[in-house]
């Protein structure tokens, strides 16, 4: 494996470590491209890192505790794509448990995420039934 591909894989694995440790905003700051786009169920969520962060920050900061759990990580070095399932849990200030269940598909370039697609609810069922977790390249949109 050549150096850039090793660096890509190491960056993805470090991002996952941060997410599992509950450092969601830090992972975003470190690995999301300044002009990266984020989609939620194929709808534009944020057109750049600053917008994505500002939309996520209130929810993340409201959590008393974040119990990160990332599973099913697949890395496609040659395409600089990764995919993983997020089954993290958040405990809010009133001790309510909020369970996350979604899939993140990410396209990277030069060590940063340039596009992320997050799927949950009905769209999650749809992409899982299409086998996206086993074939992350099948989602190439750009």
Give pLDDT, residue 42: 95
> In whole angstroms, what separates CA 108 from the centre of its chain?
11
Tell me what pLDDT residue 142 has. Answer: 45
Taking only the tens place, the pLDDT of each residue in 20-35 is 999 999 999 999 999 9
pLDDT at 1: 46
Spatial CA neighbour of 79 closest among 30, 139, 29: 139
């Amino acid at each position: 494996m050549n150096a850039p591909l090793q660096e890509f894989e190491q960056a993805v694995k470090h991002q996952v470590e941060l997410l599992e440790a509950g450092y969601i905003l830090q992972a975003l700051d470190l690995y999301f491209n300044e002009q990266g786009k984020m989609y939620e169920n194929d709808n534009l969520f944020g057109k750049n890192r600053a917008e994505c962060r500002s939309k996520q920050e209130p929810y993340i900061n409201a959590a008393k505790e974040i119990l990160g759990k990332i599973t099913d990580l697949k890395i496609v070095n040659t395409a600089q794509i990764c995919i993983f399932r997020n089954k993290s849990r958040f405990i809010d200030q009133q001790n309510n448990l909020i369970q996350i269940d979604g899939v993140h598909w990410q396209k990277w370039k030069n060590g940063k995420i340039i596009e992320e697609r997050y799927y949950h609810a009905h769209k999650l069922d749809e992409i899982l039934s299409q086998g996206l977790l086993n074939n992350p390249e099948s989602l190439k949109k750009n």
